[in-house]
Chain A
Amino acid sequence: MMKIGILALQGDFEAHANRIAELGAEPVFVRKTEQLDEIDGLVIPGGESSVFLNLLGDTGFEKLSAFVRTKPTFGTCAGCILLATEVENPKQKGIGALDITVRRNAYGRQIHSAILEGPTTLKGGLLEQVYIRAPRIERVGPGIEVLAERDGHPVLIRQGNLLAATFHPELSADTRVHAEFLRLVAECKK
Chain B
Amino acid sequence: MSDTNGNGLRLKIGLAEMLKGGVIMDVMSAEQAEIAEKAGAVAVMALERVPAMIRADGGVARMASPKVIKEVMNTVDIPVMAKARIGHFAEAQILQELGVDYIDESEVLTPADEENHIDKHAFTTPFVCGARNLGEALRRIAEGACMIRTKGEAGTGDVIHAVKHMRQIVKEMRQLTIMTEQELYLAAKTHQAPYELVRMVAKAGKLPVPNFSAGGIATPADASLVMQLGAEAVFVGSGIFMKGSSTPLDLKDPKERAEAESRAKAIVLATAHYKDPKVLAEVSEQMTGSMKGLAVSGIAEADLLQTRGW
Residues of chain A having any CB pair with chain B under 8 Å: 8-15, 31-32, 46-48, 50-51, 54-55, 77-78, 89-90, 104-105, 108-111, 113-115, 130, 132-133, 168, 171
Across the two chains, which residue of chain B brings its CB closest to A90?
Answer: B77
State whether B40 touches A50 (Cβ < 8 A).
Answer: yes
Is B124 an interface position by the 8 A CB rule? Answer: yes
A12 to B20, CA, bound (A): 6
Nearest chain-A residue to B126 (Cβ)? A110
Within the complex, what minimum Cβ distance (angstroms) separates B81 from chain A? 10
Tell whether, in the assembled complex, residue B11 and residue A104 are in contact, meaning their CB atoms are under 8 Å apart. Answer: no
**B18-A132 in contact (CB<8A):** yes
Chain B contacts for A13, CB-based, 8 A: 20-21
Q: Is the CB of B78 within 8 A of A110?
A: no
* Inter-subunit contact B20/A110 (CB<8 Å): no
Given A11-B18, A12-B18, A115-B10; A55-B42 close (CB under 8 Å): no
* Closest Cβ neighbor of B38 among chain A residues: A54
Binds A, one of B136-144, B192-200, B265-273: B265-273
Task: Flag B1-27 by CB within 8 Å of A: 1 or 0 each.
Answer: 000000100110011011111100000
B20 to chain A, nearest CB (A): 6
Total interface residues in chain B, CB < 8 Å: 34
Q: Which residues of B come within 8 Å of A, CB atoms? A: 7, 10-11, 14-15, 17-22, 37-43, 77-79, 96, 99-102, 124-126, 268-269, 272-273, 276
Check B17–A10 contact: CB distance below 8 A. no
- CB pair A11–B79 under 8 Å, yes or no, is no
Contacts A10-B21, A46-B17, A168-B14 given: A89-B77 contact, CB under 8 Å? yes
17 contacts between A and B (CB under 8 A): A10-B21, A10-B22, A11-B17, A11-B18, A11-B20, A11-B22, A12-B17, A15-B17, A48-B19, A48-B43, A51-B268, A54-B40, A110-B11, A113-B14, A130-B14, A133-B101, A171-B14
User: Chain A residues with Cβ under 8 A from B37's Cβ?
Assistant: 50
Distance in angstroms from B148 CB to nearest chain A CB is 16
The answer on a CB contact under 8 Å between A105 and B77 is yes
Query: 9 closest pairs, A vs B, by CB?
Result: A54-B40, A110-B101, A12-B17, A10-B21, A115-B7, A113-B11, A132-B14, A10-B22, A9-B272
Least CB separation from A55: chain B residue: B272
Q: How far is the CB of A161 from chain B (nearest CB, A)?
A: 25
A19 to B97, CA, bound (A): 35
Residue of B nearest to A52 (CB): B40
With both beta carbons as reference points, the residue of chain A lying nearest to B232 in the complex is identified as: A14
Are B21 and A111 closer than 8 Å at their CB atoms?
no
Interface pair A14/B20, CB less than 8 Å apart: yes
Known: A13-B20, A111-B96. A48 touches B11 (CB 8 A): no
B102 lies within 8 A of A47 (CB): no
Contact in complex: A10, B79 (CB < 8 Å): no
The chain B residue with its CB closest to the CB of A105 is B77
Residues of A within 8 A of B7 (CB): 115
Bound: A116/B262 CA distance, A: 42
Q: Write out the residue numbers on chain A whose beta carbons fall within 8 Å of the beta carbon of B38.
A: 54
A69 to B245, CA, bound (A): 50
Residues from chain B with a CB closer than 8 A to the CB of A168 are 14
Shortest Cβ gap from B106 to chain A (Å): 18
Q: How far is the CA of A97 from the CA of B268 in the complex (A)?
A: 27
Q: Are A115's CB and B79's CB within 8 A?
A: no
- Inter-chain CA distance A114–B22, complex, in Å, is 23
Residues of B within 8 A of A108 (CB): 99
Complex Cα gap A11–B77 (Å): 16
Task: Enumerate chain B residues within 8 angstroms of A48, measured Cβ to Cβ.
Answer: 18-19, 22, 42-43, 78-79
**Interfacial chain B residues near A109, Cβ < 8 Å:** 79, 99-101
A132 and B40 within 8 A (CB)? no
In the bound assembly, the distance between CA atoms of A62 and B83 in angstroms comes to 39
Asked if B40 and A130 sit within 8 Å, CB to CB, the answer is no
Chain B residues, CB < 8 A from A77: 18
Contacting B268 at CB < 8 Å: which of A12, A54, A89, A110?
A: A54
| B11 in contact with A11 (CB, 8 Å) | no
Inside 8 A of A55's CB, which chain B residues have their CB? 40, 268-269, 272
Q: Which residue on A lies nearest to B125, using beta carbons?
A: A111
Chain A residues in 8 Å Cβ range of B21: 8-11, 13, 47
Contact A111 B124 (CB under 8 A): yes
